[in-house]
Amino acid sequence: MIECRDLTKSFQGIKAVDRVSVTIKEGSVFGLIGTNGAGKSTVLRMMAGVLKPDEGMVIVDNMQVYDNMHAKARLFFIADEPYFFTNAAPRDMEKYYSSVYRGFDREQFYLYLTRFGLDGRRKINTFSKGMKKQLAIIIGLSAKTKYLFCDETFDGLDPVMRQGVKSIFAREMEERDFTPIIASHNLRELEDICDHVGLLHEGGVLLSKDLEEMKCNIQKVQCVFTDPEEEKRILNQMNLVKSDRRGSLLTLTVRGTREETIAAFAAANTLFYEVLPLSLEEIFISETEVTGYDVKNLILG
């Protein structure tokens, strides 16, 4: 488990991260969402022990991570712009990282190189941005660490490659003790893989929740009532988050389980009703609007 406790970091008097506290459970995919400048990269670098917090601490499996080689051996950090040695080829990077990480899987590394269509002898500085991202992911997976920190990892990958990487992450999680932490400015990239999402805004955590819990406790209902009085009666019973009317059709966002919502509308006098699943974007917008934020521009990328 990873615990971030009141992390704070400033650069030249500008506070990049302000008292961030999140808990990341083992065996889940944690998504860190936020626009450029929201503090995602700084938080990830403090989690990885690359940066020392001005205040607060990061605890990895009951060990403080900064300046602790035992804690750092459990994690691998893939930066937004991965670093490779000058004039190095993929096989040169394999030799280096296999000397750093005891569990580095050389066989898997070269297998992934072949599957991704990367030449192990070609100079990395001739690779495209997407190819460099692919190589960084291959190295990170082959290191066989418990935690993998990914900063904008899917940026630069084509849609097919993105889905391929997500499938590899899922398989790794099935086969071993593996927890990916993925930072992105685009919620759509993470909707189909994350179990828990934290939303960063202006250096602070705006929201951090388990996705399944969120999905189970908020519903979208489209309905047409028989008369205004019945509509008023039912809406007064609902824990209403949002409503939108187009003619006689009402689209409601309500809190409660799907079963509770269906039971309430089944007992009402309606001409039509349907309980629909919300997208992750709709859930986040609903959750954050309640706290007074308009985050459409933050999460829709």
pLDDT at 206: 66
pLDDT of 95 reads 96
Spell out the domains of the chain, with CATH numbers in brackets.
2-210 (3.40.50.300), 217-299 (3.30.70)
User: So what's the pLDDT on residue 295?
Assistant: 53
Q: Which two three-digit tokens encode residue 1?
A: 């488990």
Phi, psi of 34 (to 5 degrees): 170, 155
pLDDT digits (tens, 9 = 90+) for 137-192: 999 999 999 999 999 888 778 888 888 899 999 999 999 999 999 988 777 777 77
Residues 6+ apart with CB under 8 A from 269: 225, 226, 227, 230
Strand, helix or coil for residue 15? strand
- For residue 201, the SS3 value is strand
Encoded tokens for 154? 């899917």
Residues of the chain short of pLDDT 50, as ranges, are 298-301
Amino acid at 275: V
Distance CA 97, CA 140 (A): 9
Task: Report the pLDDT value the prediction gives residue 127, as an integer from 0 to 100.
Answer: 94
Q: Which pair of structure tokens corresponds to residue 192?
A: 């189909």
In the prediction, which pLDDT does 297 show? Answer: 53
What pLDDT was estimated at residue 296? Answer: 54
Q: Name the residue among 161, 190, 164, 194 with its Cα closest to residue 179.
A: 194
Q: What is the DSSP string of 58-92?
A: EEETTEE-TT-HHHHTTEEEE-SS----TT--HHH
